[in-house]
Amino acid sequence: MTTNKIRVAIVGMGKIAVDQHVPSIAGNPDYVLTAVVSSRDPAMPGVAWHKTLQSLLDDGPAIDAVALCTPPQVRYELASLALSRGVHVFLEKPPGATLAEVGLLEAQATKSGATLFAGWHSRFAAGVAPARAWLADRRVDSVSIVWREDVRHWHPGQAWIWEPGGLGVFDPGINALSIATHMLPDPFFLTAATLSTPANRAAPIAADLTFRDSRGAPVTMDLDWRQTGPQSWDIVVETDAGTLSLAKGGAVLTLPSGVEQHDDEEYPGLYARFATLIRAGESEVDVTPLKLVADAFLRGTRVAVENFDD
């Protein structure tokens, strides 16, 4: 591979693209933002605008990679089209609306030689790598995950998140699972779940989950989208060497020896990883967090709760 800049296009200019992808690409000398696919012209100087990925690939400037920031329900078609042209693909989380489609994309990437990267941004939170290293030698006795936020603040008017194929409260919850599945030394599986779904919505607004790891330690998870006031994104791990606490979505790590706090580097970390994979000609697709969510939908008890309107 050369070390030419990677010409990347963003597909889907929603909140996450504007807030995170654009500045992360601008801040990384490995990339140049070449094009945007969006229903409206973002009016970015020097950046081509196309209404569809098909149009960009057929008539636009040459690109090496796409970052797919659309809702998951439509991501398969876009990813498959890009891979069929040998274009590298960065999938926002969750990587798809189903497990099977991600498996098909993975096979297609292998066949095409293009890179497929299923990004989990929370795994790049500052505290996660040191937490993982610290836990590697420990015996885990229990894990508590509490992820409570205000959906009106974080997902204002995002209807897709409540539709079938959107994940409801598992949209933030899958971030916690992406950290836990990466950080904990043993794999874990679901043993019970209760999913609370507003009577007027298709997706849950809250969930209580119980997992167990392969050595028998309990992992509990409390998800709620109705939290006003202080927000909670905390994982606490009790071990034979004391308590590890990861707060603020992975940014603040507290070990028995003290507190470590670092700047947020989630999306810059994702783009650095994507460049490394492209240069190495490799893919990285870990569906474990989505598998655990699918298991919760498969095995969970559903209860109806009061209507949600925003």
Contacts to a second copy by CB under 8 A: 76, 97-101, 103-104, 107-108, 164-165, 187-190, 193, 202, 214, 288, 291-295, 297-302
Give the pair of three-digit tokens for residue 11: 């597909």
Of 61, 57, 52, 63, which Cα lies nearest the Cα of 25?
63
Minimum distance, C-beta of residue 163 to a second copy, in the bound complex (Å): 9
Minimum distance, C-beta of residue 41 to a second copy, in the bound complex (Å): 30
Nearest to a second copy of 164, 258 (CB atom):
164
Minimum distance, C-beta of residue 223 to a second copy, in the bound complex (Å): 15
Nearest to a second copy of 43, 199 (CB atom):
199
For this structure, is 291 an active site residue? no
Give the pair of three-digit tokens for residue 21: 């992808």
Nearest to a second copy of 44, 294 (CB atom):
294
Nearest to a second copy of 42, 103 (CB atom):
103
Minimum distance, C-beta of residue 14 to a second copy, in the bound complex (Å): 20
Catalytic residue among 5, 93, 111, 291: 93
Nearest to a second copy of 52, 98 (CB atom):
98
Phi, psi of 266 (to 5 degrees): -60, -60
Nearest to a second copy of 124, 162 (CB atom):
162
Using H for helix, E for strand and C for coil, what is the string for the chain? CCCCCEEEEEECCCHHHHHHHHHHHHCCCCEEEEEEECCCCCCCCCCEEECCHHHHHHHCCCCCEEEECCCHHHHHHHHHHHHHCCCEEEECCCCCCCHHHHHHHHHHHHHHCCCEEECCHHHHCCCHHHHHHHHCCCCEEEEEEEEECEHHHHCCCCHHHHCECECCCHHHHHHHHHHHHHHCCCCEEEEEEEEEEECCCCCCCEEEEEEEECCCCEEEEEEECECCCCCEEEEEEEECCEEEEEEHHHCEEEECCEEEECCCCHHHHHHHHHHHHHHHCCCECCCHHHHHHHHHHHHCEEEEECCCCC
Minimum distance, C-beta of residue 271 to a second copy, in the bound complex (Å): 28
Minimum distance, C-beta of residue 304 to a second copy, in the bound complex (Å): 10
Residues with catalytic annotation? 93
